[in-house]
Structure 1
Amino acid sequence: MTSIHTGSNNNIVELDMSELIRPIPPVLDMNKVNSMMETMTGKTPPASCGLTSEDLEAGELPPVDVLTFKKSGKPYYFAFGGCHRLRAHDEAGRKKVRCKLVNCSPNTLRLYLGASANKFLDSD
């Protein structure tokens, strides 16, 4: 299963959880998080999630879509979704998460964050 926005994007990397900026507080269904944690241990994903074991490598979840841009050579990574996958990784004690990087412009970031984007975009 892939995002309609990033279906053809294969720019998948592992990032440290601490590198992700998550500007929107998550609202979580812990049953979903627990199910994802079971999938991470190799259990077959439940039919309700729309994935099959053929869609994933054993013990993996789909990558989280992450917007990224560089400022003064430093990359910034913004996760606006994937909150259940990120929490499952956190609960399982995994420090790294697979992310599908989507390059964005400052204007795109402003669409997501409004005036809050200024703290990332203003000159040093």
Structure 2
Amino acid sequence: MKDGIHRQEDCLARIGSVKDALYAINGKWKLLVVITLIDGPRRFNEIERSIEGITPKVLSKELKDMELNGFVKRIESHTNPVQVTYELTPYSDSLREVIVLLSAWGTKHRTHILEMSRRENTAKLMDK
């Protein structure tokens, strides 16, 4: 809406919603964990190997946070030794559209940055 009252209310509502979303998926790892688990359950070490640069300590924290937010389910087998796997919950499917859009935007952004860099390099060469 165009008038100031509704616009400010809409803006504040959007800010609140975005803050809630970022709280749930904050950081650079959570969505990568979701992508890693899309093809099915995996053990901790498999997840760690799939995500370059993540440490075991950070992965452990991320999985706990994701479990609390309802994105991941921790499954313990009743074997000796106990084996733990992680799988996505049906609720995590609500992130599918976010991941697709973010991936597409990331591709466009990378292209944009490369084009800017090329233009700057071309301008520098022309100045010489």
| TM-score > 0.5, shorter chain as reference | no
* TM-score, normalization by structure 1: 0.25
Give the number of the structure whose residues are more often helix, by fraction: 2
* TM-score, normalization by structure 2: 0.25
- Higher RCO (CA < 8 A, seq sep 6+): 1
Give the number of the structure whose residues are more often strand, by fraction: 1
